Amino acid sequence: MNALLRTPLYDLHQALGARMVGFAGYAMPVQFAGVMAEHRHCRAAAALFDVSHMGQVILGGRGAAQALEALVPVDVAGLAPGRQRYGFFTNDAGGIEDDLMIANRGDHLLLVVNAARKASDLALLEGAMAGVEAVTDRALLALQGPGAAAALAALVPGAAAMRFMDVAVLDWDGAALWVSRSGYTGEDGYEISVPEDRAVDLAEALLARPGVLPAGLGARDSLRLEAGLCLYGQDIDEATTPVEAGLAWAIQKVRRRGGAREGGFPGAARILAELAEGPARRRVGLLPEGRAPMRAGVPLFASEDAAEPAGAITSGTYGPTLDRPVAMGYLPLAQSTPGTTVWGELRGKRLPLRVAPLPFHQPRYRT
């Protein structure tokens, strides 16, 4: 653990009794009271996550939106000030190099990228445009759950009026908070960028609010899986296209065939073709029979006696909200219809799973 990077909240996690693990080069809390308890508390009240390992990047100067559109297949130029949207960097083969959040802060863009991809994302951006600035002096907190709005508004009243995917700079006790109403749990909530020297103060103030408890990466993973959200490096990667991953909704009409700014991003030929004609495989929800979860890497077969796998599970765990195992994976279109039975091979034995629509838990965002 001594060789790992530490977030500004490391000592607070230790004081709160967190079990720490290495993740993307950082010492991070995987759980406090327990994964299942933290998961259920987030669904019922409010959970506070430390996500300071994520990368924050500012893109400044004129033309930043147009330059970014050369790297992502989403509408950045049309993103209104004070709003945020989901996007992804693509490669020449149409695969996803990383997924990210893009916020229009008026005179600049703010990106939040995955921890394990920070260095490569920065190199990509710096090779494509000027005005790229890595933010290294701020922590990032995620306050999630139906009680999140009341908890944050008690400290920062302006947060209450924000809608899903709004962004704002709000003052808290002299500290400028960069706030977005978004998250990675399928619940209402906020992600809050705070100066690192005030991060512990803010975390303690939020944890002092009624109904707010700390939560770790374990609950964050099971929450996002129930909400049908992808984890980079498992459910999406450089060999997976956005269309295969079921992320076509994030590619606006203006960047598609016939749009005013059609294509112009890496892998456009394949991605636009898949949008028009469909992909060969698709990410699907999976419900294993019985109580035992099937984890990432389990091969999937079209029948109990099929010789070759048809696909594989990319994420799987026990879903506390559904009180049953849940999983996601990739299957050919012929096996991807909800209700289809496929077979997962676990310890030499094939067990049935049912293809199910995503998400398993319907998100409860404030729109």
| Short-list 71, 131, 65, CA closest to 103 | 65
Question: Which pLDDT score is estimated for 247?
Answer: 98
Phi, psi of 42 (to 5 degrees): -65, -40
Q: Is 15 exposed, middle or buried (0-12, 13-18, 19+ CB in 10 A)?
A: exposed
State the virtual CA torsion across 217, 219, 222, 224 in degrees, nearest 10.
-70
For residue 254, what are the contacts with CB-CB under 8 A and spacing of at least 6? 75, 78, 260, 261, 262
Using alpha carbons, select from 185, 145, 191 the residue that is nearest to residue 167: 191
What pLDDT was estimated at residue 282? 98
pLDDT at 36: 98
pLDDT of residue 367: 83
Torsion of CA 79, 85, 88, 94, to 10 degrees: -70
Q: What is the 3-state secondary structure (H, E, C) of the chain?
A: CCCCEECCCHHHHHHCCCEEEEECCEEEEEECCCHHHHHHHHHHCEEEEECCCCEEEEEECCCHHHHHHCCCCCCCCCCCCCEEEEEEEECCCCCEEEEEEEEECCCEEEEEECHHHHHHHHHHHHCCCCCEEEECCEEEEEEECCCHHHHHHHHCHHHHHCCCCEEEEEEECCEEEEEECCCCCCECEEEEEEEHHHHHHHHHHHHCCCCEEECCHHHHHHHHHHCCCCCECCCECCCCCCCCCCCHHHCCHHHCCCCCCCCCCCCHHHHHHHHHHCCCEEEEEEEECCCCCCCCCCEEECCCCCCCCCEEEEEEEEECCCCEEEEEEEEEHHHCCCCCEEEEEECCEEEEEEEECCCCCCCECCC
Q: Specify the residue for token string 């594989």.
A: 312
First to last CA, the chain: 41
d(CA 327, CA 318): 8
To the question of domain 5-52+136-226 being in CATH 3.30.1360.120, the answer is: yes
Same fold, 5-52+136-226 and 280-367: no
Report the C-alpha gap between 15 and 250 in whole angstroms.
Answer: 40
**Where are the chain's structural domains?**
5-52+136-226, 280-367
CB 329 within 8 A of CB 299: no
280-367: CATH superfamily: Aminomethyltransferase beta-barrel domains (2.40.30.110)
Cα 239 to chain centroid distance, Å, stands at 18
The confidence score (pLDDT) of residue 1 equals 74
What pLDDT is stored for residue 118 in this prediction?
97
Contact 43, 145 (CB under 8 A): yes
Whole-Å CA distances, 167 to 62, 72, 163, 229, 306:
20, 20, 9, 21, 50
The pLDDT profile of the chain, 367 residues, written as one tens digit per residue, is: 789 999 999 999 999 999 999 999 999 999 999 999 999 999 999 999 999 999 999 999 889 999 999 999 999 999 999 999 999 999 999 999 999 999 999 999 999 999 999 999 999 999 999 999 999 999 999 999 999 999 999 999 999 999 999 999 999 999 999 999 999 999 999 999 999 999 999 999 999 999 999 999 999 999 999 999 999 999 999 999 999 999 999 999 999 999 999 999 999 999 999 999 999 999 999 999 999 999 999 999 999 999 999 999 999 999 999 999 999 999 999 999 999 999 999 989 999 999 999 999 999 999 8
- Whether the full predicted model's pTM is greater than 0.95, yes or no, is yes
* Strand arrangement of the beta sheet that strand 189-195 belongs to: 167-172, 175-180, 189-195, 138-144, 46-50, 212-214
Which pLDDT does position 62 carry in this prediction?
A: 86
